[in-house]
Amino acid sequence: MPLTALITGITGQDGSYLTELLLHKGYEVHGLVRRSSTLERSRLSHLYADETIYNQRLFLHYADLSDPTTIRRIVSQVQPAEFYHLAGQSHVGLSFEIPESTCDLTAIGTLRILEVLRDQPKPPRFLHASSREIFGSPSVSPQDEFTPVNPNSPYGCAKSFATQMTRIYRESHGLYFCNAICFNHESPRRGENFVTRKITLAAARISAGLQDSVSLGDLDAARDWGYAKDYVYAMWKILQQDVPDDYVLATGVSQTIRDLLDVAFTHAGLRWQDYVRIDDNFRRPADACQLLGNPRKAQEVLGWTHTVDFQHLIKLMVDHDTELIRQSGR
């Protein structure tokens, strides 16, 4: 019998890559999706079209993080060996505008899942996709698994709660529950409201004559950016260990928005200085600073390291957006 995995956030960037990885490894994959007026799930469309996969090895179930009764029913039916919790309101800037729903989905939604899994006769191995935002304004750099939690955004606060509760359930109830503390990870599947994709798409559109400029906030903001495919592979590796634990997933290299602009626009044959407009509306009320991950534990215990560097990643995204525009004409 193949191993069975259940994924929340399966239609997102990480969820789609994780689905592909698990299917490749022979898993039966189940995903929780929210019922909405649209059935647009483009990141999984290639899997829907494969009759040997969809409803054969890949199954979707309607559920919401605010509805633990439905989640409990699905978990009882599926009885997954592994549970990957990737869902939640994941946009940091937006969390300042919608703090209550961010905390309900990201913090309390995770707690609801922990309770559902704790009550199972045979609880699955559980991975919570945590975030470097739990460190907020850290006192040390780089950050590792022992860096104090100090969030400075509603999203970071919600993720801190979920991360700590995952640890508490592991230590108090003896469950195989883990945190993957992920620093920024991007890909061509990243949503257009995230700054990396906003920039790569703008470079492609400006190059094609479809856009005149792009508006951004703080160009000196620095992040540790990696490739999403690398990170979901690490998530899988975390649940294959003999002992449950938490791991920082990062590249150990920091880049600024200026660096990102330089790579993206140069690759598109442009000077970013000619097209970027500064708009203070895109500055966060409080921004995380000095965020740089130390992936040593993941390297030593999991045998994991990132395979795609920053420049390759951004060029990959620009190429994807250029081809997307060529195909769609817009």
Catalytic residue list: 131, 133, 155
- Strands 276-278, 247-249: pairing is unpaired
Distance CA 165, CA 85 (A): 13
Distance CA 274, CA 125 (A): 50
CA-to-CA separations, 26 to 56, 58, 80, 185, in angstroms, rounded? 12, 11, 14, 25
Distance CA 257, CA 263 (A): 10
Q: Quick one: which of 10, 165, 157 has its CA closest to 92?
A: 157
Residues linked to residue 222 through DSSP beta bridges, in sequence order: 256
Phi, psi (rounded to 5 degrees) for 224: -100, 100
Distance CA 290, CA 256 (A): 11
Query: Do residues 270 and 261 touch, judged by C-beta distance below 8 A?
Result: no
Cβ burial 168-193 (10 Å sphere, 16+ → b, else e): ebbeeeebbbbbbbbbbbbbbbbeee
Element (H, E) at 159: helix 154-173
Tell me the helix, strand and coil percentages in the chain, rounded to 5: 45, 15, 40
Distance CA 223, CA 229 (A): 18
Distance CA 59, CA 111 (A): 24
